[in-house]
Structure 1
């Protein structure tokens, strides 16, 4: 786990332009792209504490009064990820498709990074977020699929309560953990997240054919990833639809078949780097890269480290 901490500014001092920029960049990198606007005369300020649990981004925020708007075009530019929010003070009101949910102490908010809408933080808010790449969650059983938005009350939902307690306990123990224990903690957190989603399926109303088909085809991709090239024609034949329907299903979430395959290949390769002693060349070959150089370029673009450096930092095999 890596840890950085930055205090952006104090409320009583003017906030320089570069500090405002740092805050916006943290929101974009640790959550999603959004058009942020301060409420009142004070520019954006606050504090951010960052932790990386493998490929899971855990962030503690102290947020100023602010509002944000997230449109469809902006949402399509972001990576496909799941966002989880908890709060210890204050509230955040999020509105989408005519529905409003309120993040406050005692709740867990789960949202897709593709969700559009607007939010407002009317007063100082202290919250923790977890950004989970969909590729990291895909090996775990989430039932019928990922909700666009799901709000759980910890007092009524034992799994949500357990998730919040487990997330809080990470801070106390992670400094003593080995790389193997950190990876195990990551996987335990993913099991809890998948279980929360699966147990709340009655709250998820998504009967649209294309999103359902999209999820089924992505599951097929994960299953067949090690078998060679993934072709649109194979997806179409296996699901008894036309190739143009395959393209439409992935386009409905702003993706292409190629981009989804690429993300899953990188996620699978990351797992091998952390969990096996296989050589980098063998891992590259297993997951369909031309050679180690090709794999290295793709991996560095996604994780900002070479495969060797990533293994040294996170591997335990």
Structure 2
């Protein structure tokens, strides 16, 4: 790990990344792409040493309450977080200044902070976003080696639901010839339905490969799926969008199962929900009669 001083912490859309780089080792990670200009080894985590100070200044000067998000580039619940506690400090500030909060993770470590997640959700809105890629636990260990398995994430989702904290699942990515099967989609959606998630985001049955993450992905295919890299090169060349040959059939199945289980599956509606700040009073949402 190494430390840097950041000039700012919140993006124009109120997102933040307290860390840069990751130790989860997911073979498909888009954050390794060269376009993000990460000038250090990906596993050498960059820590913004003044992030919490900058966040407090930003929140203090916000003219309107809003949703604060994290996890888009780096999962905040890497092992190092358990030592440093930056995300917990950030959540405490979000709570103190009365903003909403949403976080994307693949880790059961988030349960360490369930007290703060619940406290935020009791007064405004807190939504946990959980990525789920493969129902098969053995396959999960191959493509996401250093993170909670899908079954463990399912247990987290159930616990969040029991605490009244809404959750959204990202069904992504789907790797052609690896996890692009009906069994996989049905298994993940069964977990989602049983955990009563608010909605499931899916941009299609496939993945994206850019310069940087493509090379890493192919090295990992050579390691864990001999011969698969050559199959990808023959089928897709240097394409950015890598779509499963089963995409149309799997997307139809995805939408049908979501409809049957009354899980929101329109990406635009889910993002509108994630970005909409809500305030509650005395255990209920504010209405016009409270103003």
Q: Same fold (TM over 0.5)?
A: no
Which has the larger strand fraction? 1
Higher relative contact order (CA 8 A, sep 6+): 2
